[in-house]
Amino acid sequence: MKLHYSLDDLNGIRNSVITTGTFDGVHIGHKTIIERLKKLAEDINGETVLITFHPHPRRVLYPDTEGKDLLMILSQKEKIDLLRRTGLDHLIILNFTKEFSKISSHDFVQQILVKLLNVKIVVVGFNHHFGHNREGNFEYLYQLSKEHGFDVEEIPEQDIQNESVSSTKIRKALLEGNIQRANAYLDHYYIIKGNLQYNCKISSSLKIPIYSIEIEENVKLLPPDGLYAVSVEDGELYSKGMLIITDWEVVNNVLSPDIRIELSLFNEDIILNHKDEVTIYFHKKMREILKNTDLNLLSNQLKKDRRDIEEMIF
């Protein structure tokens, strides 16, 4: 997959089949669109192109209202990695600004899709809107397609157990700690990419290796406080593990307030340092955080948690 951060290096794309959108989550509905994109490109000996935006348009257009507290299911790096796995030919990430938002849907199609990308087919999801004030939709695209000589196709909503899938519903499931529901909507595990750093203080207190996780983007959505069953990959590295999201930490052998993400790996032969970036896959929320407890009780509970997770993840 070729990655483009501007519209200046797009020469030579052949018979482009294009879709646009934020694609936060790269969920099952997004994957259906991409699979259709690939099939249509194969039929016309073309190339697939996905145009997305960063930051999320709502964070730019409505910073004090609906965009103020909007959190992303995926960081930018996570989204690029998941989209690369789909087999796309081109991913274009455009810097979304207030100035860019003023481009009309007509100009977006004529100047970018037609003139720059030589579009042959546009594929959109159900109820997709684009352009200034979201004035563009499937019907408008269909009208423009006749004017400019390309085809347009709309993909219906995808359902999981008779319930339509959306990024909004996935965010809700994650914020409720319902990891299994979120994973079903996503059609892949919810992930966190981050750098790990060995936490000497907590490791010595609990007598098990503990790593703190550093996340790059402060708009990344995190599940609520709790202990989670996870698995971890870093190239050839693989380990089951348990991850704690909490607003408490151990200070002088007592628990004190402080927001933290901590990871314990079950493969104790693995030694990581602060330079190691790993991908953490969430399987299930196991329990709430134990607060106001002593270290011996906490240590014993973590041993039980480990046994439960070892039996659950294969």
- Predicted local distance difference test score (pLDDT) of residue 296: 82
Cα dihedral 123, 190, 72, 88, rounded to 10, equals: -30
Q: What is the DSSP letter of 130?
A: B
- Predicted local distance difference test score (pLDDT) of residue 155: 86
In b/e form, how buried is each residue of 188-212, taking b as 16+ CB within 10 angstroms? eebbbbbbbeebeebeebbebbbbb
How is 194-214 classified by DSSP, letter by letter?
A: EEEEE-HHHHHHHTS--EEEE
- Predicted local distance difference test score (pLDDT) of residue 196: 86
Helix or strand holding residue 92 (H, E): strand 90-95
**Rounded to an integer, what distance in angstroms lies between the CA atom of residue 119 and that of residue 47?**
10
- Predicted local distance difference test score (pLDDT) of residue 258: 59
* pLDDT per position as a tens digit, 151-169: 999 888 775 555 678 899 9
Which CA distances in Å does 247 have to 262, 287, 290, 293? 11, 15, 11, 14
Tokens of residue 298, six digits: 């906490």
Tokens of residue 281, six digits: 């896959």
- Predicted local distance difference test score (pLDDT) of residue 184: 95
Contact between residue 182 and residue 173 where contact means Cβ atoms under 8 Å apart: yes
Tokens of residue 19, six digits: 């879709």
Domain boundaries, the chain: 4-8+12-160, 189-312
Q: Which of 24, 31, 284, 74 is nearest to 191 (CA)?
A: 74
Pick the CATH number of 4-8+12-160 from 3.40.80.10, 3.30.1490.100, 3.40.50.20, 3.40.50.620: 3.40.50.620
Q: Which of 131, 296, 78 is nearest to 207 (CA)?
A: 296
- Predicted local distance difference test score (pLDDT) of residue 2: 96
At the top level of CATH, the class of 189-312 is: mainly beta
- Predicted local distance difference test score (pLDDT) of residue 55: 93
Contact between residue 21 and residue 92 where contact means Cβ atoms under 8 Å apart: no
Q: Which residue has the tokens 């380990």?
A: 239
**Which parts of the chain register pLDDT below 50?**
255-257
Distance of CA 58 to the CA centre of its chain: 17
- Predicted local distance difference test score (pLDDT) of residue 95: 95
Which CA distances in Å does 162 have to 30, 50, 59? 17, 28, 31
**Rounded to an integer, what distance in angstroms lies between the CA atom of residue 73 and that of residue 65?**
19
Which CA distances in Å does 212 have to 73, 201, 203, 215, 229? 20, 11, 10, 10, 16
pTM above 0.75, yes or no: yes
Contact between residue 53 and residue 96 where contact means Cβ atoms under 8 Å apart: yes
